[in-house]
Chain A
Amino acid sequence: MNEKMKTVLVTGAAGSLAKRVIARLHGRYNVVAVDFRRKVETDADIPSYKVEIHKRGFEDVFRKHRIDAVLHIGRIFPHEHDRTRRYNANVLGSKKLFELCRKYGVGQVLVHSTYFVYGASAYNPALLDEDTPLKASEVTQDLVDSVELENLAQIYLWKAPELNITILRPCNVLGPGVRNTMSLLLSRSLVPVLVGFSPLMQFLHVDDMADALVLAFERNKPGIYNVAPDDYVTYQVAVEQAGCRKLPVPSIPPLLPKLISGALNWNSFFPPYLINYFKYPVIIDGSLFGETFGWKPKRNLNDIFSYYRKHKLLSA
């Protein structure tokens, strides 16, 4: 490891976003990669660990390397584990992470959150600001961990200003290799849509998100930022553009689509607890991030959807 360069710890290193971030940092920083899923294959000079951040072993990473900054990208998705395990990893794990950062004098922490924390409610105005209340836990228990992770990060934001915490709340991130709900959904050929509902959505290419993360890290302006383009499209149009066929799902009574999703085990791509996000729009205002960091996405909606279209043509 080069002593002159800063050392950056990246969590969730097995994910497609973290991989892209690591590639962008490599060579300019010493990168340490950790993931709870597996020991990630990395370039020779990047140490990689399989470690669960809420377990004791995580501290060894801090003992072994003098960490200057943490990019906390790794979060367990609801379809990956049950609620308790997820809570432990995402909330308690993050608390542990913040405490270790204080103990070992880490100077900067970036937290990768999600726009889901705002909650999909019929009463949402459009262009939600960063100071809008987080109402996701009102919608579903399955997003409590996402909201609490945010709350925790916000507590440390004022309690430990030396950590220079930046929280990023991106809209739907899509692109090659992305394994979140929306990406898994649009990768399918037959996709559920709620009859009579087609909420407006925002999409961001994973490469643009990686650029945004690196930019926020390098400029170091602590705070909370939405990350989203000012371009919009409805869900059903997105489904068509991604080359999917629509599977209409009855939307009334409101409980019915949840029951259908549960019964057919659509947990990874159309989970019961996210049904509301396919019903009501959650449009976020990304202008603060854009203005603060001089950032604009380089890829448009068509670039994003064309990947899913081509992917389907190739596999057909």
Chain B
Amino acid sequence: MLKALTRLASREALYRQIVTPEIEERIARMPKPVGSFGYDAWGYNENAAKLGLGVVKLLYDKYFRVTSHGVENIPAQGPVLLVANHSGQLPLDGVMIAGAMAMNPDGPRAPRAMVERFFPTVPWLGSMLTGIGAVIGDPLNCIKMLEQGEAIIVFPEGVRGSGKLYRHRYQLQRFGNGFMHMAMQTGATIVPVGVVGCEETMPSLANLSPLAKLLGLPYVPLGPLLPLPARVYLNFGEAMCFDKTASCEEEVTARVELVKDKIRELIDRGLAERTSVF
């Protein structure tokens, strides 16, 4: 016992506990080109990604006990947008989808996510998020990443989805059309994802909007301070492809609705298979 403790005390051993050989193997298999120091143009770094994935895997397996179906629908390479419903105040749904993508035995992908523009201004947090693959939500970033064959997680509901109250759980909010334009422009595949369980990780009874305004945040929830260990169910739907033929915004919206319907279906599937919330 004492021996085990001393071993754990060394940083290297702790690192090995988090970054298991399985994680090393998945990262090595990702079709992700990096430069001579392991960085890409958006600041993704292989070493940071390993550590990040190690921590995510612990949360994925031990805390949220995620069940996922259909990861084989994520193409092993080439540009892809993973479009999901957003919920739970904190972007834990994104983190879990990222875990499923990166650990996918059929073809692991380096998950990329678009984050709020204020993150780079926060010391440490900004660098950390960048290192594990987050980029600021700028259309130019998204297009250039898709052109280079990246896999990006998208929540078209944005804060409308993540900030909604518990009584509105599993009700899809308005989807932005941006992701569809990107997909059409770059020929990227869309994989719809239904997330079940994240709504229960941080049920919000009310939005303290005056406080949010004061802090410059999109919302401040009245709810638990830390995420609750709800079970999470991820359902990845079949890949959808859209050509460039949409001639007006109405047509684009119609296509977005197709994706939205698919996500609704996948959420219902997750809700049906769930036997207990925690």
Contacts and interface: CB of A to CB of B under 8 A. Distances in A.
Interface residues of B, number: 25
Contact of B123 (A195, A234, A283): A195
A234 B35 contact: no
Interface string A203-219: 00000000000000000
B39 A233 contact: yes
Interface string B130-145: 1000011010110010
A231 interface: yes
Given A126-B43, A196-B124, A281-B43, A232 B35 contact: yes
A301 B141 contact: no
B133 to A, nearest CB: 12
B138 A123 contact: yes
B138 A125 contact: yes
Contact of B40 (A195, A232, A251): A232
Interface string A187-207: 000000011111010000000
Given A230-B41, A233-B35, 5 more contacts: A122-B120, A122-B136, A280-B120, A283-B41, A283-B42
A125 B140 contact: yes
A263 interface: no
A237 interface: yes
Contacts of A123: 117, 136, 138
A231 B127 contact: no
B276 interface: no
A234 B120 contact: no
Identify the 10 closest CB pairs spanning chains A and B, nearest first: A196-B123, A231-B35, A125-B138, A125-B140, A125-B141, A122-B120, A196-B124, A232-B39, A233-B37, A200-B43
Contact of A126 (B35, B127, B144): B144
Contacts of A231: 35-37, 39
B37 A301 contact: yes
Contacts of B245: none
A127 B124 CA distance: 22
A126 B43 CA distance: 9
Contacts of A125: 135-136, 138, 140-141, 144
A301 B36 CA distance: 7
B41 A232 contact: yes
Contacts of B144: 125-127, 285
15 contacts: A122-B118, A123-B136, A123-B138, A125-B135, A125-B140, A129-B140, A195-B123, A196-B127, A200-B130, A231-B39, A232-B39, A234-B39, A281-B43, A301-B35, A301-B37
Nearest to B138: A125
B126 interface: yes
A315 interface: no
A126 B42 contact: yes
Which residue of A127, A194, A195, A283 has the most chain B CB atoms within 10 A of its CB atom?
A127
A127 B36 contact: no
Interface in B18-36: 35-36
Contacts of A281: 43
Interface of chain A, helix or strand or loop or mixed?
loop
Given A197-B123, A197-B126, A198-B127, A302 B135 contact: no
A252 interface: yes
Contacts of B121: 122
A129 B37 CA distance: 23
Nearest to A241: B37
A306 interface: no
A230 B144 CA distance: 13
Contacts of A265: none
Contacts of A230: 35, 41
Which residue of B39, B41, B138, B141 has the most chain A CB atoms within 10 A of its CB atom?
B41
Contacts of B124: 196
A251 B123 contact: yes
A127 B42 CA distance: 8
A123 B141 CA distance: 11
Contacts of A200: 39, 41-43, 130
Nearest to B40: A232
A230 B141 CA distance: 16
A254 to B, nearest CB: 8
Contacts of B43: 126, 200, 232, 234, 281
A300 interface: yes
Contacts of A195: 123
B257 to A, nearest CB: 29
Contacts of B37: 231-233, 237, 301
Nearest to B124: A196
Contacts of A300: 36
B215 to A, nearest CB: 16
Contacts of A301: 35-37
B242 to A, nearest CB: 24
A285 B123 CA distance: 26
A122 B135 CA distance: 11
Which residue of A129, A196, A232, A252 has the most chain B CB atoms within 10 A of its CB atom?
A232
